[in-house]
Structure 1
Amino acid sequence: METYGKILTIAMPAFLLLVLLEKVYGWIFKKDAFKPLDTISSLSSGYTNVVKDVLGLSVSILSYQWMVSHWTVYKVESTIWVYIIAFIALDFSGYWVHRLSHEINFFWNKHAIHHSSEEFNLGCALRQSISSFVSLFTIFLLPAALLGVEPKVIAIVAPLHLFAQFWYHTVYIGRMGFLEKIIVTPSHHRVHHAINPEYLDKNHGQIFIFWDKIFGTFQEELPNVPPVYGITRPASTWNPIKINFQHLWLLIKDAARTKSLKDKFRIWFMPTGWRPADVAERFPVNKIEDIYHFQKYAPQVSNSMLVWIWVQFFFTFSLLYHLFGNIAKIGSPNIFIYGGFIYLIVFAYTELMDKNPYALLWEALKNVVGFYIIFSTGDWFGLSQLVAWGKPALIAYLIVSMILTSYFVLVELKQENSQTQMA
């Protein structure tokens, strides 16, 4: 937990800088539109994911430690080969977990967030799940367990394997020659994120593309079929916490509504997107029928609101930096309270991005919780010991945040709604 937090204090600024540099490059040299709300939504999803991971908010039904203890048949000596085996085993496991997430209704919920952006850029790589609390697929690490690869080796290699999947989420790198046959490239991964019929559910590899070629899920990018990105049932929100549970909520409702006892059970294990016939007829959901002619989700906000959202985003970044850099000092259960507060901030400002009037209620709840923490403890998780003006800055932020969000919801959004009704 503490080690991963320290790693993220280095990795987060690097990823943020690369995401913003890619957007600036596209805007200046490729004349692509800079869509800030999509970028903020992606990066905010990354916030929620790293909080969940650092705080260890998940359990494994079958632990890797148990597998090593009981199933090792030959222990590989502790050399560079141990790390190579661990990396390949993680990639093999990643391929199957990824593939099952695309093919089975219940497991799609934890992966839909990653595909929810209707753009394809480095920010998409940071759209990661918070909805999976139980790991069911540790079994796919069996090859490493059989060879006695220690859990600490897996723990070291896993973040490197994850971070190595960041770079290929871009449209600005073309085909890469002979590397296309070995590793996952941007071209391969553009196919994976596309909703074109030719591309759906292809290229599940994470680092090595040969898994897809071995198991029959490979598809190259076709020169006459430009990828169209997103999910066929559009998320239609910038709120990453909502997106994380949209599919699950639909499954719950469909299971409750169907009259078939058989469908109530099998809906969870059917192919992704399957719905009981009686429910699909009575309760249709929005689904993209013509992938080349659909309206992307893009609510327009005022320049002043956009500036404030960026302020909220970077302020949240500073809180994350404080949390991850001081996990041991903050201690338990305070780290979980801190993480919950960060979730509240993200929920509140992304609701404002959606121009949802309820953003004001979430903002009020966030500020009440913030003031309670400050005045009940006399500080903000030890921030005053690091920065003398930390506590006053937090109080000022909460007050300004409430005032500005009230203005945007009660004045700007109301004026906009009135003008829309008059038109």
Structure 2
Amino acid sequence: MQKQVMRSLDSVSSISSGMTNVVKDVLGLTISIFTYEWMVGHLAIFEIKSTWLVYLITFMVVDFKGYWTHRWEHKINILWNRHVIHHSSEEFNLACGLRQTVSTVFDYFTFLLLPAAIVGVPVEVIAVVAPIHLFLQFWYHTRLIGKMGWLEDIIVTPSHHRVHHAVNKVYMDKNLGQIFIFWDKIFGTFQEELNDEPCIYGITRPARTWNPIKINFQHFFLLVKDAYHTKSWKDKLRIWFMPTGWRPPDVMEKFPVEQMGDLGHYQKYDTPSSLSFRIWAWIQLMFNYLLLIYLFAFIMEIGTPGVFIYGALVVVAVYAFTELMDRNPNAIYMELFKSLSVLAFIFIQGDWFGANTYLGSWFTFIVGMYQVLTVVVVWGFVNGELKGHFKLFPSKLGGI
């Protein structure tokens, strides 16, 4: 019997999350409190050359930093908001590996690279190692690979990472390593995948939405609301730094939030959809992916502030079509707002961010006509198969 490792709308949501994260990273919207370049320039004791051994040691330092960053994100309330999106899928597959944060404005953890900076590891080495290290964390998001023999003692395998994404009590906050599993064994956070304990995926306060923008900020908004509602000034301050999931007692009683409860009977989030609706969701995703490719190809030519306007329009598009997937009754208005914004920009500028020059007017024409098509198709779904079946987005926002 074949395993079902993906659901269509869940995968669209996951890939959409990856798109928004890429937009944020490419536009440089994350601010490092201390940059590695600054630390090397001010703190390096030695000056070393970029040999293969330096690259290897740097890889280990970056992985050590990754372990502790990951561990703190799981253990501290405010830091969980940086990471919750990655755990929000109730499936475990390669697509869920693309769920990455857009809520990180500040990077607090560059200081963990201090040992590399002190011994003078060049900036170029970090610049090469960091993206390779990130890329190597993608492959193990799968249920299709079993245990891998002796490699289970050295690297993070799919089995280890299935445990990490599971909400079963025995698995919670385990296997926090990114490439090497021995950090977990050294620091006491290792847990083997058990044959008699199937992994249940997601977050214990379910997201209940396909919208990656909402998921990115659900936990933060819950913290804000709890800090506002609690009568204790002490709790207003400490809620941000308490263990992940902690809420003031008076708020827990007055404003309960949805919990997974009995994992054996938990129903995954789903919204009924026809084949045509699912195909439309993929078309929306792929067209916006095409727009993203154009941005990357001509980002220098587009320049500022154009790239920020472009990125905002892509994020609004993702927000609009994932709201339709959620059956939000306002989805048609969000789609209309997005399409009118794009058409207004094309009308004012005369083309789509220089496309007439770089590719030809045909690309601008396609972008414009697609905006008209999206409004017509979404209106058709709202007044067709989805009529009378919309449900409001749950008002109780969840966290872990």
Pairwise TM-score range, normalised by the shorter structure: over 0.9
Query: For residue 392 of structure 1, what is the aligned residue in structure 2?
Result: 365
Query: For residue 94 of structure 1, what is the aligned residue in structure 2?
Result: 66
Distance in 1 of aligned mates of 2:299 and 2:198: 45
Structure-2-length-normalised TM-score: 0.95
Instruction: State the 1:303 CA deviation.
Output: 2.2
Query: May I ask how many residue pairs the two structures share in their alignment?
Result: 390
Distance in 2 of aligned mates of 1:399 and 1:203: 48
Query: For residue 74 of structure 1, what is the aligned residue in structure 2?
Result: 46
Distance in 1 of aligned mates of 2:35 and 2:266: 44
Instruction: State the 1:77 CA deviation.
Output: 2.1
Query: For residue 380 of structure 1, what is the aligned residue in structure 2?
Result: 352
Instruction: State the 1:59 CA deviation.
Output: 0.5
Query: For residue 20 of structure 1, what is the aligned residue in structure 2?
Result: none
Query: For residue 19 of structure 1, what is the aligned residue in structure 2?
Result: none
Query: For residue 394 of structure 2, what is the aligned residue in structure 1?
Result: none
Query: For residue 395 of structure 2, what is the aligned residue in structure 1?
Result: none
* Higher RCO (C-alpha 8 Å, min separation 6): 2
Instruction: State the 1:413 CA deviation.
Output: 2.3
SS at match of 1:339: helix
Q: What is the identity, as a one-letter code, of the residue corresponding to 2:232?
A: S
Query: For residue 210 of structure 2, what is the aligned residue in structure 1?
Result: 238
Q: What is the identity, as a one-letter code, of the residue corresponding to 1:292?
A: G
C-alpha distance after superposition, 1:9-44 (max 9, x if no partner):
xxxxxxxxxxxxxxxxxxxx8252751000100000
**Equivalent residues in 2 for 1:5-20, closer than 5 Å:** none
2:249 maps to 1:277: yes
C-alpha distance after superposition, 1:153-182 (max 9, x if no partner):
212211111010000000011111111111
Query: For residue 167 of structure 2, what is the aligned residue in structure 1?
Result: 195
Among 274, 281, 289, which residue is 1:309 paired with? 281
SS at match of 2:220: helix
Following superposition, which runs of at least 4 residues in structure 1 exceed 3 angstroms of deviation?
Answer: 415-418
- Taking a change above 3 Å as real, the CA distance of residues 388 and 377 of structure 1, as seen in their structure-2 partners, is closer
Query: For residue 353 of structure 1, what is the aligned residue in structure 2?
Result: 325
Distance in 2 of aligned mates of 1:74 and 1:297: 54
Query: For residue 337 of structure 1, what is the aligned residue in structure 2?
Result: 309
- Taking a change above 3 Å as real, the CA distance of residues 153 and 286 of structure 1, as seen in their structure-2 partners, is same
Structure-1-length-normalised TM-score: 0.90
Distance in 1 of aligned mates of 2:75 and 2:5: 33
Instruction: State the 1:82 CA deviation.
Output: 2.2
Q: What is the identity, as a one-letter code, of the residue corresponding to 1:88?
A: M
Among 178, 181, 185, which residue is 2:157 paired with? 185
Distance in 2 of aligned mates of 1:245 and 1:296: 21
Instruction: State the 1:206 CA deviation.
Output: 0.4
Distance in 2 of aligned mates of 1:39 and 1:110: 20
Query: For residue 25 of structure 2, what is the aligned residue in structure 1?
Result: 53
- Structure 2: which 5+ residue stretches go unaligned? 392-400
Q: What is the identity, as a one-letter code, of the residue corresponding to 1:404?
A: V
Query: For residue 412 of structure 1, what is the aligned residue in structure 2?
Result: 385
Distance in 2 of aligned mates of 1:286 and 1:415: 25
Q: What is the identity, as a one-letter code, of the residue corresponding to 1:274?
A: W
Q: What is the identity, as a one-letter code, of the residue corresponding to 1:403?
A: V
Among 220, 233, 248, which residue is 2:192 paired with? 220
2:117 maps to 1:131: no
SS at match of 1:300: coil
2:130 maps to 1:158: yes
SS at match of 1:267: helix
Q: What is the identity, as a one-letter code, of the residue corresponding to 2:386?
A: L
Percent identity reads: 57
Instruction: State the 1:365 CA deviation.
Output: 1.2
Query: For residue 119 of structure 1, what is the aligned residue in structure 2?
Result: 91
Distance in 1 of aligned mates of 2:224 and 2:380: 37
Instruction: State the 1:152 CA deviation.
Output: 2.3
Q: What is the identity, as a one-letter code, of the residue corresponding to 1:246?
A: Q
Distance in 2 of aligned mates of 1:412 and 1:289: 32
Moved more, 301-310 or 346-355: 301-310
Among 121, 129, 136, which residue is 1:149 paired with? 121
| Greater helix content | 1
**Equivalent residues in 2 for 1:167-186, closer than 5 Å:** 167-186=139-158
Instruction: State the 1:88 CA deviation.
Output: 1.2
- Structure 1: which 5+ residue stretches go unaligned? 1-28, 419-423
Distance in 2 of aligned mates of 1:34 and 1:44: 15
Query: For residue 337 of structure 2, what is the aligned residue in structure 1?
Result: 365
- Taking a change above 3 Å as real, the CA distance of residues 359 and 157 of structure 1, as seen in their structure-2 partners, is same
SS at match of 2:279: helix
Instruction: State the 1:101 CA deviation.
Output: 0.4
Distance in 2 of aligned mates of 1:34 and 1:103: 29
Distance in 2 of aligned mates of 1:276 and 1:205: 31
Distance in 2 of aligned mates of 1:338 and 1:270: 38
Distance in 1 of aligned mates of 2:359 and 2:246: 53
Q: Does the aligned pair in 1 maintain the 2:93–2:141 contact within 8 Å?
A: yes
Instruction: State the 1:76 CA deviation.
Output: 2.8
2:296 maps to 1:324: yes
Q: What is the identity, as a one-letter code, of the residue corresponding to 2:8?
A: P
SS at match of 2:242: coil
Q: What is the identity, as a one-letter code, of the residue corresponding to 2:61?
A: A
Instruction: State the 1:189 CA deviation.
Output: 0.3
Q: What is the identity, as a one-letter code, of the residue corresponding to 1:155?
A: A
Moved more, 382-391 or 397-406: 382-391
SS at match of 2:241: coil
Distance in 2 of aligned mates of 1:364 and 1:238: 19
